[in-house]
Amino acid sequence: MSIQLATAEASIDYAAIKARQQAAWASGDYAVVGTTLQIVGEQLCETLELKAGAGVLDVAAGNGNASLAAARRFTEVTSTDYVESLLDRGKERANAERLPITFAIADAEALPYESGEFDYVLSTFGVMFAPNHEQAAFELLRVTKTGGKVGLANWTPESFVGQVFKTLARYVAPPAGVRSPALWGDRQHLEMLFLGQKIRIEERAFNFRYKSAAHFIDVFRSFYGPVHKAFLSLSEPDQLALERDLIELMQSFNRATNGTMVVPSTYAEVVVEKV
């Protein structure tokens, strides 16, 4: 990290930022959106070739997509998040499938586990939202055994979701000095965060399938914390303008020809082997 960046980061109140983020993710009900992303957790676990009986930590797990995928492969899973209501959704799903998962509240930037405690450490569209990128990456590696693997799924900057982030930022400015979560989908940024480790990155795509653009906005406005909070903070004219911009963005990505919405969003599937 450069001296200039280190100096700038030292002045950022990460505790206050995380408190606001926590409130945002606790608003709405992210699980409604999260369950649609299940295939990403399954694909990540297949890429990692999880070994039965291995210790797995899911960081910023949300409602447990990667946790459930790992548990279905008979690993010993601990699912963590700093939003208790999301962990409760994960517990409901695990109980329904009779999957023995341990759930715990934890901050991705200060994981309450011993160094080298887990064989695999996972995060699907979760740890990328931690405001202190370097600290979060340090923690992921710290709790991973030497020779173990960190597996991530992160939206890329130019993806549909990356463009949604940029659109939201035009209406609700992010905290000063905090970098975009979509940087976790950028190869150069990842190589900086995990300097000295063996890294494999593959670009994949997830398809958002909704009845229409209006349906997508209704779901995200109601249940996806950052979008939910953004709309609540805006005046009515700005809400209408944001909705118009989001619909225009979706139309530019939409590949459906039957009036519905099928929007692919690229993400980086990342495997970091700890050396």
Total-model pTM: 0.93
Residues in the chain: 275
Query: How far is C-alpha 87 from the geometric centre of its chain's CA atoms?
Result: 14
> Residue 39: is its pLDDT beyond 60?
yes
Q: Write out pLDDT tens, residues 121-174.
A: 999 999 999 999 999 999 999 999 999 999 999 999 999 999 999 999 999 988
Angle 233-234-237 from CA coordinates, rounded to 5°: 165
What class, spelled out in words, does domain 3-156+176-209+266-273 have in CATH?
Answer: alpha beta
Which long-range contacts (C-beta less than 8 Å, at least 24 apart) are formed by 71-75? 71/97, 71/99, 71/100, 71/101, 72/45, 72/97, 72/99, 73/45, 75/50, 75/51, 75/120
Residue 199's H or E segment, with its range, is strand 198-210
Summarised one tens digit per residue, pLDDT across range 90-135 is 999 999 999 999 999 999 999 999 999 999 999 999 999 999 999 9
Decide if pLDDT at 267 tops 50. Answer: yes
CA angle at 172 for the pair 88 and 189, rounded to the nearest 5°:
75
The residues spanned by each domain of the chain are 3-156+176-209+266-273
Q: Which of helix, strand or coil describes residue 217?
A: helix
